[in-house]
A and B are shown apart, each in its own frame.
Chain A
């Protein structure tokens, strides 16, 4: 490895966010051994621990982005940004969990331990600089989430969801590993930079075996980010999982997978060949169109959000398809979009979890939201903003994110993709607006009982604020996002120095 070997304490510093998360996971496993119920003290501790991760992220922000641990991980702004995103998503999930777990009788310490392990897996995933560590992160994240999905173990839907997710997930991971092994066979390395150098210098980018390997890896990621044709599991799993976990899957899991996807493809596979851009463009079109069309007919709000999350994965894939060496706009639009999308989705799921009930219709039918807008003005307003943002209407973060992605597509010469993208957002209007129609324009029949405790309210308020802030004044954020992508310039420069 050409990276200078850093001093040990420095490595510990760089790993601080990860160490906090793993330590917290172990700590909560221990708590579980003594007292299974989670009290106010533990809950406060969880929030503090997550806040500590954010604190370390802030502290490390200006750190040098060298690969560490013999090139296994890299702690640069890109990985720190996504560490922050997944931490915020996990925090949102924790805050909505408190009341939810109480009501559903799931209040156990191991739930939070698994949540911490899942988050640490995500952090490994977004910091991975080697296919092996990428795989480790992916597995750590996935295994924890498999368990969390089936956490309501006496519930039929939860069992179905967990089984489906696990089996399909295992297949996807197998594909991924197969691809990794081929890459190793071809290039003799699993290190990202090694692959990049090999792929561009020896001309193996045109080797059919290499293409097959990349396709297999693409399939693995497509499963995690719920892209067509690997999306079948999404609605059932989203429906069966406890709502805070659905929220986590729709935001943190997706963001982390996209981050690894972006880094790997941008660094290793896309530079040598432009074919991937075409294939990803096709996936993008299929994904968003299918997601939006099927979402139109959903009556269960969790299933609707599941298809909506498929559609949003499609929009982000537009950004991936528009990646280019000359401009960082496409890459930064993906970062921005993931952040914006996370906030609106966390907010929407916090509200869904507050309305959800244990018995009867479970409070998941969209029709059960009738009259919510009037009875709970704040919740109604928040949901309205989330829905408008998901639909991409100004002045919200969702609009700006979409604008950013479409502008990257136009800049990259993919006008067709942008047009299909906007037509899709027009399609999506119908089902997002329907939620508002029910909430504001129909009278409720049954008395609505909403469990909006402090945690839920905090999540709603923060998401609301973030969405409006991101929508109105992205100027503060954009240079930050652009600076995150410094590594791409560095890697491009390296390729140039190789004389390619």
Chain B
């Protein structure tokens, strides 16, 4: 078996083995799932060491699955997905470890759900066949549905159904769009295939492109979630158990951004370019609106949930201004958000386990009783608001530079989000941690246990590392990002133009090979667009 398939199916195998464990042996179940997720993490490190810095897909595995329908099992990683996969395998053992004490009911089912979730998330990040991607994408919903619905809070059933139906509506329309895309390709080339590589070169009229883009974008925008499709998120987050929130915020939401990056934008570049102003405006509204709503929250968890809406607005803005810095920043910010928001949810979970409340007014002066906890919370807060030398700074900085180069107004508006972010996070921190201990119950709160310290240590280490030394990550992303930007900028042109190109290429469906100067990719693209216009 190849490396990627091992990483995908190891957790699934673990989940199947868990079925054999007796229900009562909870310790063994916990230990076993931790070991499985750690093993997946260790195996996934091979991806990092074996990764060649280039724009190519790597670790590719191609097996025909349902040849008569053109469906295959194709997986691979490139600079866009590599770190997202690592984020999954990194966060998963941490989350599992964090749930050791929080989950006491139906332990076996819980860990089966967690492991299934891991398989489907990794699968969705590495799938290079649209059908395979869709299967993993939908599969994610099932364990999450149970995680929120069984182990969630008071309103869990409402929240989980809302989550499920919201995301499903979007993805079902995407399914139709996938089918239309595939059959358009079939009518042009005579081949029925779901292979992403080939589908990048379907010729479509601008109108078709636009409609298909909208279907894909709706599905991904709900997942991100972008304003105004975000309303499921606060409910799902507040009701989900800590582990569910961490995975939801840390990884599932990244699926939306990744979807734009891998599917919606490169498949329909002209439509993506056309939609860019709209997406940018929605993203900016999301940034400011999310921050404002976060500011007035009384519940810490809800505050963190709305802060996600704001942070992911940055990611979307970065993706759609379409230059190398901004897109790199967007990917970097996805990773940052995964770490810092994941950690914030874990931290909220810690205090909730002790006090069974998350209302800000119930706390105050926690620094005095839980110094270690307060210190870790501070680091994560600063990371979330983007203070140098922590990871958040790098991401936001890259995005803002990129946006500024494209459109200064956007950058100015988005920067207010950074300020607002600092306000709501620090204000919340102040109310929870500083001052006198207002409530007597809080005097006896226990500081972090060694297990909890182990949970947070790797996250904190990574937050510092990514803030001080981003180069190993950025340099691995760069070639893929450049390729992405060039291809999307070059656009597809409309149907007639493409057919002409195809004729020139001897009837073969080959993309025009672009000689891109790595220093100035944008100029080259502009030249290419000019050349195309001349041809017309």
Instruction: Give chain A's interface residues, CB within 8 Å of chain B.
Output: 374, 388, 393-395, 399, 403, 406-407, 410-411, 415, 418-419, 422-423, 425-426, 429-430, 433-434, 436-437, 440-441, 473-475, 478-479, 482
Contacts and interface: CB of A to CB of B under 8 A. Distances in A.
A394 B135 contact: yes
Nearest to B156: A441
Contact of A411 (B145, B173, B183): B183
B138 A426 contact: no
A422 B173 contact: yes
Interface stretch (B164-172, B291-299, B485-493, B527-535): B164-172
Contact of A393 (B66, B142, B156, B186): B142
A423 B172 contact: yes
Nearest to A442: B157
A410 B149 contact: no
Contacts of B169: 423, 426
Contacts of B160: 437, 441
A374 B106 contact: yes
Nearest to A481: B68
Interface of B: 65-69, 106, 134-135, 138-139, 141-142, 145-146, 149-150, 156-157, 160-161, 164-165, 168-169, 172-173, 175-176, 179-180, 182-183, 186
Contact of B68 (A406, A441, A482): A482
Given A393-B141, A437-B157, A475-B68, A426 B165 contact: yes
Contact of B150 (A415, A440, A479, A482): A440
Nearest to B148: A441
| 3 closest Cβ pairs, A-B complex | A422-B172, A410-B179, A394-B135
7 contacts: A374-B106, A399-B135, A406-B179, A426-B165, A441-B150, A475-B66, A479-B68
B138 A433 contact: no
A422 B179 CA distance: 12
B146 A429 contact: no
B146 A440 contact: yes
A190 B227 CA distance: 62
A437 B69 contact: no
A410 B183 contact: yes
Given A403-B175, A422-B173, A426-B165, 8 more contacts: A395-B139, A399-B135, A419-B173, A436-B149, A437-B149, A437-B161, A441-B156, A475-B66
B428 to A, nearest CB: 31
A433 B183 contact: no
Contact of B165 (A388, A429, A437, A478): A429
Nearest to B170: A426
A196 B92 CA distance: 62
A489 B67 CA distance: 22
Contacts of A423: 169, 172-173
Nearest to A419: B176
A475 B64 CA distance: 10
A436 B156 CA distance: 13
Contact of B180 (A415, A437, A479): A415
Contacts of B67: 475
A410 B173 contact: no
A429 B66 contact: no
B346 to A, nearest CB: 24
A374 B110 CA distance: 13
B176 A410 contact: yes
Contacts of B141: 393
A134 B454 CA distance: 72
B176 A394 contact: no
Nearest to A392: B172
Contacts of A425: 172
Contacts of B146: 440
Contacts of B156: 441
Contacts of A411: 183, 186
B134 A430 contact: no
A399 B138 contact: yes
A189 to B, nearest CB: 37
A394 B138 contact: yes
B206 to A, nearest CB: 17
A219 B68 CA distance: 35
B146 to A, nearest CB: 7
Most chain A CB neighbours (cut-off 10 Å) among B66, B160, B182:
B66
Contact of B172 (A407, A426, A433, A473): A426
B26 to A, nearest CB: 15
Given A440-B149, A478-B68, A482-B68, A426 B168 contact: yes
A69 B69 CA distance: 38
Contacts of B183: 407, 410-411
A411 B187 CA distance: 9
A434 B161 CA distance: 9
Most chain B CB neighbours (cut-off 10 Å) among A410, A474, A475:
A410
A437 B183 CA distance: 37
Contacts of A388: 142
A311 to B, nearest CB: 15
A394 B134 contact: yes
A434 B141 CA distance: 15
A433 B145 contact: yes
Contact of B179 (A393, A418, A478, A479): A418
A393 B172 CA distance: 10
B60 to A, nearest CB: 21
Contacts of A436: 149
Contacts of A479: 68
Contacts of B145: 433
Nearest to B135: A394
B319 to A, nearest CB: 26
A478 B138 contact: no
Given A422-B172, A423-B172, A478-B69, A433 B164 contact: yes
B180 A410 contact: yes
A399 B137 CA distance: 13
Nearest to B145: A433
Contacts of A475: 65-68
A411 B66 CA distance: 18
A434 B173 CA distance: 23
B161 A394 contact: no
Contacts of B134: 394
Most chain A CB neighbours (cut-off 10 Å) among B135, B146, B157, B176:
B176
A441 B160 CA distance: 11
B176 A441 contact: no
A394 B127 CA distance: 15
